[in-house]
């Protein structure tokens, strides 16, 4: 192998060695953004008082309104009447629960 070929191989090896760490750095940056939208860090405001409209059907159950985290602020979602899945079913209201450094909504259920 002559000197010219050795210089070309050396240049190619150097280029490959310089490129490899840049690829690792780009992959590391992707991992940094995971979990940014975990949930609100501030507790929701106290519940609002709502006037319940007239019950639209005999077995209607009122589901209370709640605060919802929309974008970067709390927004009130009004309550509503719902049909129970079967006679005698009880509604268990949802709640905001503190998990680590943020809050998560635990859905209500029958």
Give residue 29's pLDDT band: very low, low, confident or very high (50, 70, 90).
very low
Residue 7: the pLDDT is 72
Residue 13: the pLDDT is 66
Residue 1: the pLDDT is 62
Q: How many residues does the chain have?
A: 110
- The Cα 103–Cα 94 span in angstroms is 13
Q: Which residue has the higher pLDDT, 5 or 62?
A: 62
- The Cα 96–Cα 102 span in angstroms is 10
Look up the pTM and report it: 0.59
């Amino acid at each position: 192998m002559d000197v010219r070929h050795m210089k070309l191989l050396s240049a190619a090896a150097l280029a490959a060695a310089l490129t490899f760490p840049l690829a690792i750095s780009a992959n590391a940056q992707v991992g940094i953004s995971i979990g940014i939208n975990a949930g609100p860090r501030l507790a929701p405001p106290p519940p609002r008082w709502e006037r319940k409209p007239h019950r639209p059907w005999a077995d209607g159950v009122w589901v209370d309104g709640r605060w919802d985290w929309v974008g970067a602020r709390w927004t009130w979602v009004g309550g509503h009447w719902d049909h129970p899945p079967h006679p005698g079913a009880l509604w268990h209201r949802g709640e905001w629960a503190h998990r680590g450094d943020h809050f998560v909504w635990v859905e209500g259920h029958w």
